[in-house]
């Protein structure tokens, strides 16, 4: 019975994250299949940009709330106050950015692409990350994974397959509507589980020192985003909408591996935040073993059928990107072989170390692409991103091995 209970928790996390991650993958596949490359590139650029704006408005609040709300001695009232403070801190910049973009969009007689309709989805996307993280911090990892941004994408995909869509703008409006619906339902779900006590200090919630407390987490999140998706944003200007679609498609083929990484992170994050030194070692071994067990079969299949997969997504030109896909898959596999060191460093409050490593990673991926793409073309994005993954994984692994006890930093619990 005890073994079954121990297995049930990671299984719930796995299922929750699978449903949400599958939505992000499927919406990319449908966009590539239903629209011409240039049109799908417009939708996927907006999809990618929205993620970046959400990360900017959250600025580490989504990670900070997991650490704070997972504290074992936290009362339900204090946990709820943590949630309300984080939600208020995210809500204000979401409203400001949405208002500015809405005004700019109104000045256009007719929106040319989904990026000009981005303002519709910013508020629900930003707040959804806080709700998801609060579920995880309070011990509901499965629901936390389920109520991520991808769940709206999953339901939008169903609508895409039913409704006769002709433009990327139509697809974006449908996706935005499901983001709002997910925000409403997940909020009601929090209330139904009694995870939110009645607000006690309304005025104290409208403060923004939480951004200062989580400044390194916020910068880490932004750098992580830029190091991966910065290339997609650059591709818009350097190789056009068709290049955006192909690069986005290749990155999404890494999604099953990233799903495994994020699932393990969701499961291990609260445990790393309060584990003993021996517990840290044990959880690193568990994360490494489980990650490789799940990743190796996918990498093997994707490499063997790479030409068929790419032909399905991109048409006759797809197989030309087989080598690029192989580089990306092998880089992420090596990252997983070195273990979940990134989330370990975050949860143990070694934020400055993670921040420094990500500066290096972003410089390689983002700045390096600016320098090499004019000479190497499309593959320059892939080369720099692959190198950046390797550098980050190796540096994090070396640091963890040098200080395996990873004593918790400022404001952390004692070991």
- Asked if 5 and 135 touch (Cβ cutoff 8 Å), the reply is no
As for how many domains the chain has, the answer is 2
Per the domain annotation, does 238 fall within a domain? no
Q: Look at the block and give the residue holding tokens 């490789």.
A: 292
Are 180 and 138 found together in one domain?
yes
Report yes or no on 228 lying in a domain. Answer: no
Domain co-membership, 247 together with 178: no
29 and 135 in a common domain: yes
State mean pLDDT over 176-193.
89
Q: In this predicted structure, what is the pLDDT of residue 194?
A: 77
Q: Which domain holds residue 309?
A: 243-407+411-415
- Judged against a pLDDT cut of 80, whether residue 67 lies above it is answered with no
| DSSP for 216-278, written as a single string | HHHHHHHHHHHHHHHHHHHHHHHTHHHHHHHHHHHHHTTHHHHHHHHHHHHHHHHHHHH--HH
Domain boundary among 196, 213, 230: 213
Q: 385-408 pLDDT, tens per residue?
A: 889 889 988 988 888 877 655 554
25 shares its domain with 97:
yes
Lowest-confidence pick of 62-71, 128-137, 164-173, 302-311: 62-71
One domain, residues 303 and 176: no
Mean pLDDT over 229-252 rounds to 75
150 with 41, same domain: the answer is yes
Rounding to the nearest 10 degrees, give the CA dihedral for residues 275, 220, 339, 27.
120
Residue 191 burial by Cβ neighbours in a 10 Å radius (0-12, 13-18, 19+): exposed
Give the rounded percent of residues in the chain with a pLDDT score beyond 90.
Answer: 10
CB 358 within 8 A of CB 223: yes
Task: Note whether 204 and 263 are same-domain residues.
Answer: no
Residue 410 is predicted with a pLDDT of 42
In this structure, the answer to whether residues 10 and 65 fall within a common structural domain is: yes
The pLDDT of residue 411 is 40
Q: Is residue 237 part of a domain?
A: no
DSSP 363: I
Are both 270 and 374 inside the same structural domain?
yes
Q: Does 224 fall in a domain?
A: no
**Can you give the pLDDT at residue 409?**
46
Whether 137 contacts 160, CB under 8 Å? no
Q: Is 323 a domain residue?
A: yes
Whether residues 126 and 169 fall in one domain? yes
Is the Cβ–Cβ distance between 286 and 9 less than 8 Å? no
Q: What is the pLDDT of residue 347?
A: 75
- pLDDT category, 346, cuts 50, 70, 90? confident
Is residue 225 in a domain?
no
Residue 229, domain member (yes or no) = no
Query: Is 259 found in the same domain as 329?
Result: yes
Q: How many CA atoms lie within 13 A of 227 on its CB side?
A: 22
Q: Is residue 107 part of a domain?
A: yes
- Do 252 and 205 fall into the same domain? no
Calpha distance 160→174 (Å, rounded)? 8
């Amino acid at each position: 019975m005890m073994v079954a209970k121990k297995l049930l928790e990671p299984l719930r996390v796995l299922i929750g994250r699978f449903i949400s991650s599958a939505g992000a993958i499927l919406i990319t596949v449908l966009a590539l299949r239903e629209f011409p490359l240039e049109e799908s590139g417009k939708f996927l650029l907006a999809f990618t940009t929205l993620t970046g704006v959400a990360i900017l408005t959250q600025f580490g609040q989504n990670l900070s709330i997991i650490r704070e709300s997972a504290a074992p001695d936290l009362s339900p009232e204090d946990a709820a106050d943590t949630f309300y403070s984080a939600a208020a801190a995210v809500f204000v910049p979401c409203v400001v950015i949405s208002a500015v973009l809405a005004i700019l969009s109104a000045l256009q007689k007719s929106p040319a692409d989904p990026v000009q309709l981005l303002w519709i989805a910013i508020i629900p996307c930003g707040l959804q990350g806080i709700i998801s993280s609060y579920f995880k911090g309070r011990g509901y990892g499965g629901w936390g994974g389920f109520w991520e941004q991808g769940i709206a994408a999953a339901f939008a995909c169903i609508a895409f397959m039913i409704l006769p869509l002709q433009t990327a703008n139509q697809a974006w409006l449908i996706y935005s509507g499901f983001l709002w619906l997910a925000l409403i339902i997940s909020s009601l779900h929090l209330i139904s589980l009694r995870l939110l006590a009645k607000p006690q200090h309304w005025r104290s919630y409208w403060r923004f020192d939480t951004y200062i407390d989580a400044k390194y987490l916020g910068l880490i999140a932004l750098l992580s985003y830029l190091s991966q998706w910065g290339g997609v944003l650059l591709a818009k200007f350097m190789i056009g909408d068709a290049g955006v679609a192909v690069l986005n498609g290749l990155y999404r083929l890494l999604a099953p591996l990233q799903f495994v990484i994020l699932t393990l992170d969701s499961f291990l994050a609260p445990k790393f935040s309060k584990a003993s030194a021996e517990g840290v070692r044990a959880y690193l071994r568990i994360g490494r073993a489980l990650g490789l067990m799940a990743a190796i079969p996918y990498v093997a299949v994707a490499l063997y059928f790479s030409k068929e997969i790419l032909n399905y997504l991109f048409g006759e030109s797809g197989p030309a990107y087989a080598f690029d896909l192989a580089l990306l898959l092998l880089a992420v596999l090596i990252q997983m072989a070195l273990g979940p060191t990134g989330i370990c460093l975050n949860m143990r409050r070694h934020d400055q170390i993670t921040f420094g490593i990500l500066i290096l990673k972003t410089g390689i991926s983002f700045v390096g692409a600016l320098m090499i793409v004019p000479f190497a073309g499309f593959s320059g994005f892939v080369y720099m991103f692959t190198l950046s993954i390797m550098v980050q994984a190796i540096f994090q692994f070396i640091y963890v091995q040098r200080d395996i006890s990873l004593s918790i930093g400022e404001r952390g619990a004692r070991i």
